[in-house]
Amino acid sequence: MSRLQTPLRKNDSVIVITGKDRGKRGRIMRLIPGRNRLVVEGVNMIKRHTRPNPNANVQGGIVEREASLHASNVQLVCPECGAQTRIGHKVLGDGRKVRICRKCEGVVDK
């Protein structure tokens, strides 16, 4: 299985740049590395018909939840300048390798 080909990580704030949900912002909830996809909170909502299962305490009915979308369809939102940006890498003086915003050169990693 291949690794995720994107520098995005869980809990990053992203904006959708193409598709039916273009312009929506959300937080990455889950990464699917083998298929280079991710699930963003409140984006790409689908209706799933679920069967009731009393053993698992599932009620059943029509449930609305997020579906995955391809990692190339989102772009990181910089926590410092608030703009959508590409991600660069930089080695700091203390030896840490961090992700940086290409627009404001601010550090994305905490």
Confidence of residue 3 (pLDDT cuts 50, 70, 90): low
**Are 34 and 71 found together in one domain?**
yes
Q: Which two tokens stand for residue 29?
A: 């909830």
- What does the alpha-carbon distance between residue 100 and residue 97 come to, in Å, rounded to a whole number? 10
pLDDT tens for residues 7-55? 899 999 999 999 999 999 999 999 998 899 999 999 999 999 999 999 9
The three-point CA angle 1-8-102 to 5° equals 135
**Are 37 and 63 found together in one domain?**
yes
> What's the total number of domains in the chain?
2
**Are 86 and 67 found together in one domain?**
no
Give the amino acid at 72: S
Confidence of residue 4 (pLDDT cuts 50, 70, 90): low
Domain carrying residue 18: 1-77
**Are 12 and 34 found together in one domain?**
yes
**Are 4 and 53 found together in one domain?**
yes
- What does the alpha-carbon distance between residue 103 and residue 81 come to, in Å, rounded to a whole number? 8
